[in-house]
Chains A and B, each alone.
Chain A
């Protein structure tokens, strides 16, 4: 429904022929990808396929070796995390980027702490804890009572909840979630999937990376499969059942592995 129309619009973000080397490892071998406003891409692939590497390039954490990135058709250079943020890109990394010795509030706002209106460089702690409490509550997280609790005392799932809450708070144009459902309970997974769907309503684009095909299938509009640094499948979900997709993934991956 409305799919064809969407493809006629200009993509929000376009990646063209992205290459990345780590020493001798050729982690990305010329990846192309278009992401449209309000679209949810399910990005899947084996361990080491290059999903997180692609994520980090878009996030400004690492630099691509070659290729182009376009935002709304204009070429952009993403040289740093600030660049990415300025362009409206928000990322929840697979590494659960939290500082264990700091409290939840500071972790949510890490690197972009709210500043006091009057005194330059000074933090607005009240605002920080208030917003933290609000966003955690909105996500239905138990940690919302204690925004001053040190993160290292949280469980794995609670930490993952903080990471998702951060993405939710700073969502702008594109949200990339790298394995956001890992460690989560059934209710936690539901919370994340609901969040992803809510992005669509706000016309925000999303790249959802997961190894659980059922989760991806549930929310994604398009499924993109990476294998050994190459995109080998890019299909709208609507045409396939989850079983068909599964079969296709196995088939393609095997063929690609043999040829590679």
Chain B
């Protein structure tokens, strides 16, 4: 009997070690972020200053909202190629309306990009969810459509911040508010995904749509919901980008799509759907933020940055694959 007890203890000690390793693997994006932050900081010491760190946080927020939207899509087993264009379009059409039409109460102005984001996201959701069309094709089509619409409604011009209500610029331009509101949103999304029924059903649908259907979880409704949420986050992202830039440049949203994938994937969101932790995605967002800020200090051209993003997505996929393999090999043995 004594022997049995020893064996049990040994086993639980073993499990503890394994559990710690699993924990590390699942949250690997944080050590990775810290490592890259330190390395880049050695090359460019200005990165270590508290002000600069705040700047990195601040810089990550507008993109961060779009990343939240993309992550929810990936967890739900779909992808949203239109998210970047929608960030730009919702910001632009809201900007044009605020510039050209008087009589919109300023304190309601925030709702504009979010409403357009929701409408366009629901449009994606209708075609992919209720009409069962392939999300890749649908969002590829709407990516081009939203991009074109953005340029059409802008009539080719950037909207300067001076044409917009000051309160409308506030969320994205105030550093403290920007960062805190993002953190609060992340926590709310995390709670939604983990602790509510619709949140869990996003994981269910991402795991297997046929099974979801047979167990009474309607994939049509869920996919519609997922794209609608993604659209809302695109709208919020547009709002924050507008404040961040204090204008709506015609290029707004052009560099959003790839980083959303890179951040989600490097944070451990499975491309096969059904898996991912939104808190880790913040680590992914910060990781991109540090790299972005570093490149800014060296005045790297936007073209070179796009090349960089391309490779970053590749590296993220490789990293993800590696992590999943190690994780599975541990879990299988428990």
Interface of A toward B, CB cutoff 8 Å: 56, 59, 61, 80-82, 85, 93, 95, 97-102, 106, 110-113, 115, 121-123, 125, 149-150, 153
Instruction: Decide if B207 touches A100 in the complex (CB within 8 Å).
Output: yes
Interface string of B210-221 (1 = CB under 8 A from A): 111111111000
How many inter-chain residue pairs (CB < 8 Å) link A and B? Answer: 72
The 6 closest A-B pairs by CB, nearest first: A81-B216, A99-B207, A111-B216, A101-B274, A111-B215, A110-B215
Inter-chain contact A121/B197, CB cutoff 8 Å: yes
Which of B213, B217, B332 is the one whose CB lies under 8 Å from A61? B213
Q: A102-B204, A113-B197, A123-B196 are in contact. Are A95 and B216 (CB under 8 A)?
A: no
CB neighbors of A among B193-212 (8 A): 195-198, 200, 203-204, 206-208, 210-212
The complex places the Cα of A23 from the Cα of B331 at a distance, in Å, of 43
| Chain A residues whose CB sits within 8 angstroms of the CB of B334 once the complex forms | 149, 153
Q: Is A99 touching B216 in the complex (CB atoms < 8 A)?
A: no
Nearest neighbor of B205 in chain A, beta-carbon distance: A99
Q: Does B270 contact A (CB under 8 A)?
A: yes
Residues of A within 8 A of B210 (CB): 95
Question: Which residue, A81, A99, A123, A149, has most C-beta atoms of chain B within 10 A?
Answer: A99
Instruction: Please determine whether A93 and B214 come into contact, CB atoms closer than 8 angstroms.
Output: yes
Query: In the complex the two chains form, what is the Cα distance from A149 to B332 in whole Å?
Result: 10
Which A residues lie within 8 Å of B246 (CB)? Answer: none
Measured CA separation A111–B214 after assembly (Å): 9
Please pick, from A81, A97, A122, A153, the residue contacting B195 in the complex, using a CB distance under 8 A: A122
Q: Do residues A101 and B207 form an inter-chain contact, with CB atoms below 8 A?
A: yes
Question: Is the CB of B275 closer than 8 A to any CB of chain A?
Answer: yes
B-chain residues with CB within 8 Å of residue A112 when the two chains form the complex: 216
Instruction: Give 8 pairs: A residue, B residue, CB < 8 Å, sorted on A.
Output: A56-B214, A101-B206, A102-B203, A102-B204, A102-B274, A110-B216, A112-B216, A121-B196
Which residues 209-239 of B sit at the A interface, judged by CB distance below 8 A?
A: 210-218
The residue of chain B having its C-beta at the shortest distance from the C-beta of A56 within the complex is B214
Contact B214 A61 (CB under 8 A): yes
Residues from chain B with Cβ under 8 Å of A81 in the complex: 213-216
Note all chain A residues with C-beta closer than 8 A to B211. 95, 97-99, 110
* Residues from chain B with Cβ under 8 Å of A121 in the complex: 196-198
Q: In whole Å, how far is B76's beta carbon from the nearest beta carbon of chain A? A: 12
Contact B207 A102 (CB under 8 A): yes
Judge whether B332 and A153 touch: CB under 8 Å: yes
Closest to B210 in A: A95
Residues of A within 8 A of B270 (CB): 101
Contact B217 A111 (CB under 8 A): yes
Give Cα A147–Cα B315 distance, bound, in whole angstroms. 35
Question: Within the assembled complex, what's the spacing in Å between the Cα atoms of A226 and B212?
Answer: 28
Q: Across the two chains, which residue of chain A brings its CB closest to B201?
A: A111
The complex places the Cα of A110 from the Cα of B270 at a distance, in Å, of 21
Of all chain A residues, which has the CB nearest B332? Answer: A153
- Residues of A within 8 Å of B200, CB to CB, are 106, 113, 123
The answer to whether A99 and B214 touch across the interface, beta carbons within 8 angstroms, is no
The residue from A59, A61, A99 contacting B274, defined by CB atoms under 8 A apart: A99
Give Cα distance in the complex from A101 to B77, angstroms: 12
Shortest distance from the beta carbon of B41 to any chain A beta carbon, whole Å: 37
| B214 contact from A95, A100, A125, Cβ within 8 A | A95
Residues in B whose Cβ lies below 8 Å from that of A113: 197, 200
Check A97–B332 contact: CB distance below 8 A.
no
In the complex, what residues of B have CB within 8 A of residue A153's CB? 331-332, 334
For B274, the closest partner residue in chain A by CB is A101
Write the chain A residue with the least CB distance to B211: A97
| Contact (A97, B274) CB under 8 Å given A102-B204, A123-B196, A153-B332 | no
Q: Which residue of B lies closest to A81 (CB)?
A: B216
Q: Which chain B residues border A125 with CB–CB below 8 Å?
A: 195
A123 and B195 form a contact (CB under 8 A): yes
Q: What residue in chain B is nearest A113 (Cβ atoms)?
A: B197
CA distance A113 to B200 in the complex (A): 9
Q: B195 to chain A: which residues have CB within 8 Å?
A: 122-123, 125
Which residues 224-273 in B have Cβ within 8 Å of A in the complex?
270
